[in-house]
């Protein structure tokens, strides 16, 4: 049976390290406050003008392509996941295709935020299994630092996020002990506004009246990049952290078990679980709930923060480089994020 295997993997994080103590100059916070709530000690910020979501993706892609033993001109499809594109449109996939001098291949952008890489991997997996493409580049890349509220008002969100990129090259394999076994994707939009960036957007009265009772009609009517919008911090990400946490600790284990059950596997069979790096406390809760040993879960949020769509490939790449996964090992990737969306992928390395 034809499967998709990860033939090469790469990552890139900016050299600029921002510690928790560095954030004190912008907001009322502390290293202890941040670590207790998130497990984060530092994160990376891209250069304000010289680095973009696409340029970081290019660096990660170069490594993945080289490790796959192929060349940029042999890539026949791109799937690019990000919530922080260079432009509102077009998407980053075509910008990467241009930057790497690739052929006139298909280029797809995925907007599933923290779950973006799992969704992108699943899409690419279907194309490989159908025989349509042979070398698919799957990217997760984020530049959050340009759009965060660096004030005490925004600290609950801004201390969490960092910049970076991860990439894999998927290729077909007939090896029964290699490749993606299954992927599992879900969504629930009932509480979409609990983790969202409302503007710029075209929602107008779509939901604002119900959600923001303190806004009068005039203020609501000015929600298109207006002074009112800026005054109410609508141009920055919003997150109800407690609500997201409660949902995540339920859906993370569910979707991981869904992948294991679909393939007649148990948690003890896992060599490694690589969760989206949302919050160290979430990962620890999931580990305990599933009865996994510490060496069965890989976390690096303490050094990179939450890089949303990039976090799974960055963590997977590091784990591989450190020898935490080897050929034939059973690995589960899982994510949960804005939407809400969540997903998992079970694979043999």
| Longest alpha-carbon distance in the chain | 62
Paired tokens of 277: 């790096």
What are the helix (H) ranges across the chain?
A: 31-38, 53-67, 92-99, 116-130, 155-158, 208-211, 217-221, 227-231, 241-262, 280-290, 301-304, 311-321
Which amino acids are annotated catalytic?
A: 114, 276, 306
Cβ within 8 Å of residue 123, ≥6 positions away = 79, 108, 110
Give the separation between CA 106 and CA 97, rounded to whole angstroms. Answer: 9
Paired tokens of 273: 């679980």
What are the helix (H) ranges across 263-300?
A: 280-290
Q: Check: CB of residue 314 under 8 Å from CB of residue 233.
A: no
Q: How many CB atoms lie within 10 A of CB 302?
A: 15
Nearest to 159 by CA among 280, 315, 309: 280
Which residue, chain included where needed, has tokens 């921002």?
Answer: 18
Cβ within 8 Å of residue 49, ≥6 positions away = none
């Amino acid at each position: 049976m034809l499967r998709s295997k990860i033939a090469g993997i790469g990552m890139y994080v900016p050299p600029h390290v921002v510690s928790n103590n560095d954030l004190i100059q912008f907001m009322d916070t502390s290293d202890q406050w941040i670590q207790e709530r998130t497990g984060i000690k530092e994160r990376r910020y891209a250069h304000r003008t010289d680095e973009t979501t696409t340029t970081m993706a290019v660096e990660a892609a170069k490594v993945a392509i080289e490790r796959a033993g192929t060349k940029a001109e042999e890539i026949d499809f791109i799937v690019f996941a990000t919530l922080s594109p260079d432009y509102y449109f077009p998407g980053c996939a075509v910008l990467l295709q241009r930057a790497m001098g690739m052929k006139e291949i298909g280029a797809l952008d995925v907007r599933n935020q923290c779950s973006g890489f799992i969704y992108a991997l699943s899409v690419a997996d279907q194309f490989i299994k159908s025989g349509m493409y042979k070398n698919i580049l799957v990217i997760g890349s984020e530049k959050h630092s340009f759009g965060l509220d660096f004030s005490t008002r925004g600290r609950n969100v801004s201390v969490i996020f960092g910049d970076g990129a991860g990439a894999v090259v998927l290729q077909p394999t007939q090896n029964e002990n290699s490749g993606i076994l299954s992927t599992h994707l879900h969504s629930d939009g009932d509480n979409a506004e609990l983790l969202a960036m409302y503007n710029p957007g075209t929602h107008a009265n779509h939901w604002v009246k119900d959600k923001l009772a303190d806004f009068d009609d005039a203020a609501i009517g000015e929600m298109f990049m207006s002074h009112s919008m800026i005054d109410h911090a609508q141009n920055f990400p919003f997150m109800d952290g407690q609500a997201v946490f409660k949902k995540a600790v339920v859906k993370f284990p569910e979707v991981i078990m869904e992948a294991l059950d679909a393939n007649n596997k148990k948690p003890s069979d896992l060599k490694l679980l690589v969760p989206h790096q949302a919050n160290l406390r979430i990962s620890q809760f999931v580990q305990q709930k599933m009865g996994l040993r510490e060496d069965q879960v890989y976390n690096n949020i303490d050094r990179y923060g939450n890089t949303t769509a990039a976090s799974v490939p960055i963590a997977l790449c590091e784990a591989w480089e450190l020898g935490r996964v080897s050929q034939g090992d059973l690995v589960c990737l899982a994510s949960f994020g804005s939407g809400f969306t969540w997903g998992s992928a079970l694979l043999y390395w």
